[in-house]
Structure 1
C-alpha cells in the first residue's frame, strides 16, 4: 500500500511539473483604467521617475529604499536605480520610448532577489474628459514564473499592484490638473502705484 501511495505521489509531482513546463515561455499582464484626469497630467507623472513616488505601488514597499536617478529628468534615457529590503530587492529602469500623451516604454531590470529583464509600457488614450490608461508588463517566463502563472498567482499578484498603481495615478493626476487650473485662474499680481 505504501508503495502505491509513493508511486501516486511521484506521478502527481511529475504531472504538475509537466503542466508547469508546458506554460508559455513569456508572460503579459495588462490592466486598463479610465482616469478622470488629463492626458498631459498622466503622461508627466509616468514620464519622470522622480514623480513615481506619488503613485507607484512599489515606492512604499520599503520606506528606506535607496533611489538614484540619472540621465535626463524625464523621457527617453531617463534612468532609475533602486535598492531596498527583501520585499523590493535591487533593480533599475530606463525609459526607451516616450511619445507625449500617447505611450511610454520602459526596460525593467531586476537584479535581486532574482535576475530578469522585463518590459513595461503605458498606453494613453484621450477618452471623454479623461484618459484611458493601459499598463502592460511583459517578459520571458522562468520556471518559477511558469509555476506562478499555472496557478494564477502571477496574474493575481502583479495585477493587483497594477490596479492600485492606476488608482493612485488617477489621484495624483487629478491633483496636478487641479493645481494647473488654480495657477491658470490666479490673477497676476501687479505693483501698486507709488503715492
Structure 2
C-alpha cells in the first residue's frame, strides 16, 4: 500500500513539474519562411489568392494529402475557401482553408483548420523586392497553443516539423511564378 501511495504522489508531482516547465514555453507557435521570387507582384498574388491553384505548390493541398477537395465559388479573394478530406498515415483527415483578407498589394491572410488541431492563422505577405524586379514573399503560420503542456511541446517543435514543408512550398511557388512570367 505504501508503494502504491508513493507511486501516485510521484506521478502527481511529475505532472505538476511538467506543467510548470511548460509555462516557460511560449503560448504561440510561429513558423515562417521568406524568399524572393523573380516575378511581378501581380503574378505571385494571383497564385496565392487563387485556392484552386494551391495543389500545384502547397504541401497541404497536394493530391497525396487532400484526396477529395471542394472549392467555394469563387475560389479566390476574401471569403473564398476550400475543404478537403483524405487519408494520412492510415488516419482519416479533414480540413478547411478560408481567406480572411486579400489585398493585391500586400498578399492574403487565411485560417487553416485541420482535424482536432488548433486553428492556424496564416499569411502570405507580399511586397516588391529590394531591387524592384521581383516580389519578396513571407509565408507565416501562427497558432495559439493555450496552456496545456502537450500543445506547447508541439509548438516547441513546430518550426522543425513544418519549416521544411514551407520551404518546399515556396520553392515550388517560385518555380511556377517565374515560369508564368516568361
Give 1:13 shift: 6.3
Q: Contact (CA 8 Å) 1:71, 1:77: kept in 2 or not?
A: no
RMSD: 2.6
Task: Rate the CA distance shift 1:120–1:63 in 2: closer, same or farther, 3 A.
Answer: closer
Stretches of structure 2 lacking an aligned partner (at least 5 in a row): 1-6
Q: What is the aligned counterpart of 2:21 among 19, 22, 45?
A: 19
Cα distance in 2 between the residues matched to 1:64 and 1:139: 21
Q: Cα deviation per residue 1:19-72 (whole Å; 9 max; x = unaligned)?
A: 224322222221111122221111111001110011101233626611000132
Tell me if 1:158 matches 2:162.
Answer: yes
Task: Normalising by structure 2, report the TM-score.
Answer: 0.81
Secondary structure of the structure 1 residue equivalent to 2:142? strand
Task: Normalising by structure 1, report the TM-score.
Answer: 0.76
Q: Cα deviation per residue 1:108-160 (whole Å; 9 max; x = unaligned)?
A: 122x2x2422211111011121111011111211533311234xx21111111
- Residue 41 of structure 2: aligned partner: 39
- Residue 155 of structure 2: aligned partner: 149
Q: Cα deviation per residue 1:152-195 (whole Å; 9 max; x = unaligned)?
A: x21111111111111111011111112xxxxxxxxxxxxxxxxx
Stretches of structure 1 lacking an aligned partner (at least 5 in a row): 1-5, 179-195
Count of residues in Structure 1 that have an aligned counterpart in Structure 2: 171
Cα distance in 2 between the residues matched to 1:63 and 1:135: 20
Secondary structure of the structure 1 residue equivalent to 2:60? coil
